[in-house]
Structure 1
Amino acid sequence: MGQGFAAHTRFLSREKINYIFIMSYTEIMKKRDGFTIVELLIVIVVIGILAAITIVAFNGIQARSRDSSVDSSVTALKKAIELYNAQEGVYPAVSGCPDNNGCGLAGLSTILVPTYISAMPSSLNGVSYARNTGGVGYGLNVPYETKPRCVAGTNPNPTWGWFTSSGLSRC
């Protein structure tokens, strides 16, 4: 009676023992028809975490791409303003926008398009233009999504509300 499992298996070949163990394992697995709720919840949580990481990374890439588009649009606008200055000897004065006051780009568009730039870039939403007294300098207040707002241009007036007194740096 105390001989145990080994005594009963001495008459069985190794192949038969392996067959018995494999069949027992197979029968156990057949009784288990599906996944447990805990297993399903773990898979759902892992998929949710991966999706959240992907969305956050993708949104950051899109914002940096839009900032790059703003950079190239500001460069094109600065070239058009400099072409105007080279031909006229002063920077453009926008109708309805007194010197040293920031205004939108709509008035500037009527001056520069189509002679100095074919069309105003569409990615310049929120950019404002200001000209120094007498047209000796100008500034562009440039907002970004991922970078801090900055001022571009030549000789922008430091008394403008959106220049260095409010912490804005040069682009």
Structure 2
Amino acid sequence: MAKFSPLMALPPVLFVGLASLFIFGMNREDPNQLPSAKAGKDAPSIARVTPLGDLAPLDDAMLRTGGVKLVNYWASWCAPCRAEHPQLETMAGEGVTIYGINYKDKPEAAIGFLNELGNPYAAIGADEPGRTALEWGLYGVPETYVVNAEGEITYRFAGPITVEIMDKYIKPEIAKAAE
């Protein structure tokens, strides 16, 4: 009969531990969401973003006046940004104010992207060096923030907005921010 070694118990213990982490991760309400340190706080300044061609420029006052708005970070080189674009167009067509911040992109490529797919943005700016994105806590593009009428971030979604995400998370968060 073979003698029991503590090392023999290691594979089953590791398997149970990894399986537990997997099950926990799969049962989270929204597995795409990463925590945001900015939720409930004033939206950071966008004073450093630069105009993008002759498109309507962004300014800080836009974030702190009016109703609920979305701030969407995007780039022309970002395939998921292309995939989410129809949902942004849909929301803009429904009257949602969306401000765009083009991230680490060449201006001519960004303008070409909008000329090809349409421009859902009420105003837009470019953050070519990415400094403003750092202040917003950006993980990567695309990323969308819901900002209430007082200029506070109420919700953040990292990743492309699909039809399901738009209906299940973004629109309800816009409605909550309007209350």
TM-score normalised per structure 1: 0.32
TM-score normalised per structure 2: 0.31
Larger radius of gyration: 1
Which structure has more RCO (C-alpha within 8 Å, separation ≥ 6)? 2
More helix by share: 1
